[in-house]
Amino acid sequence: MDTYTEFIKQLNYKLKLKFEGSKDTLYSNWEINGISTQLSELYYKNELLQNISALLESGIKAKNIWIMNSSVKIENKYTRYKDGILSLEHGNSLELFYYLGSPVPLAYNRNTLFLFEVFEALRNVYTICNAHQLKKLNKKSIINELYSLIQEDNLKEVSNYFLNLIDKENSSFADLKNITKAKNRIKQVLRSTDENIQNIHTSEIAEGEGFSKKTEKFDKFEYIFKKYEKPIVVVLNNQIANEDNFLQILCFDFFSNKNFKKENPRFLETNEISQNSPLVMCLAFSITFLPSLIGILKLRIEIARKRKQALEDKKSEQNEINEITDEITRLDAQITSLETLDKKREQQYQNFIASDNNTTHQLDRKSINAANKVKRITEEMHNKGNDILENNKLKLESYDKKDIF
């Protein structure tokens, strides 16, 4: 487990926030559920970003932080994933990793690109075999064999690998017509996969740019992060053990069913939702949500000041200007108080790092670029948080610390 997650797990309090609505009409159940979903996504993604930033600061290379091209599935309890730790050397773990999606690195990583291509190829081939009623492939065995080829730097053409495999697995299959159709389809579907594999081998891909010449200007990590409500991020982390082949699923306690407990410091608690005019929503977040909350409120006060200036320029009604002035004063007081609380949180974290014998690491160029990217995405999340409050006519009414135990 990484140091940032260890720090959170030893916290014994949360941040309780009370939001109030100001609509002229009542909020529908659909609107209330929508607000809860939006706040949950905002919270989860901000926690992911903070975790990634902490990992980069601790010396984990950006190329070893991967996002999966899939999302958390609500119906999956993730019981087979235990504590969210997987070993790439263990067959069962490698198969479980495959079911999370295909990995996309935060910064260029040759072997991760190979893994992406292999996993996507297997999904395509498996679908083709099923469609043509061929013998079901042994995913676990194939994943392990292909992973070994990657480690041995002996991965050449994925399509030929699968074509030979199909001949071998279906040698006693009578319907040669179906086999031929399946193989022709595999050749067609995996043509671009083979091209990408060759590009990686010949270093035709510019580091940090993408998967092939066709997509080299397309930032897939950021795209996937924004696309999914609950993206899955993993780290190849030697803080877990004295080896580099362990994967940790970040923020695993957000979606692992066994961690849905009040004593989980990161579990988003819904303490109250009532609509006895106005709408009231009381939610308990991890205290690590503070920097994001402060960023959102600073954005709101900046917008309020611009509105006030615009009204003053138009010489609008003084009552309207006074209302915004009061709102600015209220936001300013909240920010000051929350920043004081956040300084204590940050000091706690620094003390925890010091006690854990962590040292400051010099970031390489890729990690610096990645850290800047994460910072920019975090600022965009602040904009999203402001939009949630603005579009739903919500305001932060009050906040407090809440003991967990």
Q: Per residue in 180-200, pLDDT tens?
A: 888 899 999 888 888 888 888
Kindly state the average pLDDT of the residues 168-173: 74
Total domains in the fold of the chain: 2
pLDDT for 214 equals 43
Residue 16's pLDDT band (cuts 50, 70, 90):
very high
Task: Please indicate, yes or no, whether residues 306 and 329 belong to a single structural domain of this protein.
Answer: yes
Check pLDDT > 50 for residue 58: yes
Task: Please indicate, yes or no, whether residues 164 and 312 belong to a single structural domain of this protein.
Answer: no
Residue 136's pLDDT band (cuts 50, 70, 90):
confident
pLDDT digits (tens, 9 = 90+) for 337-363: 999 999 999 999 999 888 766 555 677
Kindly state the average pLDDT of the residues 22-39: 93
Residue 361 lies in a domain: yes
Q: What gap in Å lies between CA 105 and CA 108, rounded to an integer?
A: 6
Kindly state the average pLDDT of the residues 282-306: 95
pLDDT for 217 equals 37
Task: Please indicate, yes or no, whether residues 213 and 122 belong to a single structural domain of this protein.
Answer: yes
pLDDT for 70 equals 93
Task: Please indicate, yes or no, whether residues 217 and 163 belong to a single structural domain of this protein.
Answer: yes
Question: Residue 38: which domain range?
Answer: 10-52+267-403
Nearest to 45 by CA among 218, 235, 231: 231
Task: Please indicate, yes or no, whether residues 387 and 335 belong to a single structural domain of this protein.
Answer: yes
Task: Please indicate, yes or no, whether residues 289 and 397 belong to a single structural domain of this protein.
Answer: yes
**Cβ(42)–Cβ(380) below 8 Å:** no
Task: Please indicate, yes or no, whether residues 274 and 392 belong to a single structural domain of this protein.
Answer: yes
Which of 66-75, 81-90, 196-205 holds the top average pLDDT?
66-75
pLDDT for 240 equals 52
Helical H runs in 89-173?
91-98, 110-131, 139-151, 158-169
Task: Please indicate, yes or no, whether residues 32 and 97 belong to a single structural domain of this protein.
Answer: no
Residue type, 328: I
Greater pLDDT, 110 or 292: 292
